Amino acid sequence: MNVHNKPNEPVLDSYWMPFTANRQFKAAPRLLASAEGMYYTSADGRRVLDGTAGLWCVNAGHGRRQIASAVERQLMQLDFAPSFQMGHPIAFDFAERLAEIAPGPDGAKLDRVFYTGSGSESVDTALKMAIAYQRAIGQGTRTRLIGRERGYHGVGFGGISVGGILNNRRVFPQLAGSDHLRHTHDLSKNAFVKGQPEHGVELADDLEQLVALHGAETIAACIVEPVAGSTGVLIPPKGYLERLRAICDKHGILLIFDEVITGFGRLGSSFATDYFGVTPDLVTAAKGLTNGAIPMGAVFSSRKVHDALMHGPENAIELFHGYTYSGHPAACAAGIATLDIYRDEGLLTRAADLEDDWQTAMHSLKGLPHVIDIRTIGLIAGIELASRDGAPGARAYAVFVDCFEKGLLIRVTGDIIAFSPPLIAEKQHFEDIVSILGDALKRAA
């Protein structure tokens, strides 16, 4: 009997796990039983350093009693209330708090907030808002949506249509009229770069080519991740996002930033919008919104988009869209408590203070077996490994399992290892990550 098949473990048959090789996992499960601060505790009692903030979401670290207490109080006061033609105070209170730190510069913040239940729902909401906006201003022919190769925008039909990760799209039909820019990853020119790569700004001109192909009058919006996370940390070349903004402005196309990963301090500012100094028309958010404690997402809208829909009879619903759990009271309570922690502990900007130590630690892995690239920005890193012949992804998966056995949780996508530790991390945690991962890379075949 190995450590992952102890007596009294839960029966695993009924749970159909997401984004998991179910048969492989259930043959040797990796179970997390509790968490506090920077660490999980596995079901067999081992401490596991969280190198990924859960799934890019536990920015303030695990086990925050302030959040748990706020959720408990809210559930006892008001467990649920409908948001269709009804309201409850905490949803409005949370929106006002979010508006204070909303993406964008003072005077042009995206301070109109629409609640969803997840990042996937936020993306589909933003895409629908973009099409509704174009119709509201008399541009009803604009229904085409532009994404990017290797982009990840959740798993709704809208999200997989503008997304560009093959396995997310392979089995499922996509929305008609979606198209894609090329991705920005260029190992030949930009390997082992700290921060934004020097090469690749011209790739933004793909949008001009799609305008020429389809006609600007057919394109509603272009959506990109400022930093592409789930595909393996692809950082935008210098000037790339600025050029996308300029092209969108030129042709009347809305620009959407998917900040489900980069929102709430991951780059050392509230949002990547502010880090890069490029303001889109819509921003999607989730994950760090509630520190992962309660599922929730949001879309931040510019006044331009919001106000364009606030016309017609006052008794008319302006946007026929929403979810049963939009603005759920317990999620709003978790969100307000999370914002309090971010504010009181300076976590929205802490990654800027940690960035140099983080980059130094991550780039110290250069030269280890199989490492062909390391890229870092804020408190994110992507470490790309050479693939085994005929077995793409197998090497990184083996490293993932090895690291877990030795007390470190990493995330892998293909043969890329991604890191996004909680923003409460200290330099010693970086050193532990490098030590455990470095040893695993040396053992990897």
Residue 8: per-residue pLDDT: 65
Residue 445: per-residue pLDDT: 87
Task: State the virtual CA torsion across 277, 278, 283, 284 in degrees, nearest 10.
Answer: -70
pTM of this prediction?
0.96
Contact 142, 349 (CB under 8 A): no
Give the single-character DSSP code of 217: G
120-152 in b/e form (b: 16+ CB < 10 A) is bbbbbbbbbbbbbbbbbeebeebbbbbbbbbbb
Give the single-character DSSP code of 183: P
Q: Among all chains, which residue has been given the structure tokens 């309090």?
A: 340
Residue 1: per-residue pLDDT: 37
Angle among Cα 435, 441, 443 to the nearest 5 degrees reads 105
Distance, in Å, from the CA atom of 29 to the CA atom of 22, rounded to the nearest integer, reads 9
Instruction: Label each residue of 79-107 as H, E or C.
Output: CCCCCCCCCCHHHHHHHHHHHHCCCCCCC
Chunked in runs of 10, what are the mean pLDDT values of the chain (445 residues)?
56 96 97 98 97 98 98 98 97 98 97 98 98 98 98 97 94 95 97 97 98 98 97 98 98 98 98 98 98 98 98 95 98 98 98 98 98 98 97 97 98 98 98 98 95
Distance, in Å, from the CA atom of 336 to the CA atom of 406, rounded to the nearest integer, reads 36
The DSSP string of 379-435 is TEEEEEEPPBTTBTTHHHHHHHHHHHHHTEE-EEETTEEEE---TT--HHHHHHHHH
Query: Nearest-CA neighbor of 226 among 208, 211, 244, 209?
Result: 244
Whole-number Cα distances in Å, 177 to 158, 173, 224, 302: 11, 12, 17, 25
Distance, in Å, from the CA atom of 434 to the CA atom of 422, rounded to the nearest integer, reads 16
**Which residues touch 282 (CB under 8 Å, ≥6 apart)?**
110, 126, 129, 130, 221, 254, 255, 256, 257, 299, 300, 301, 302, 305
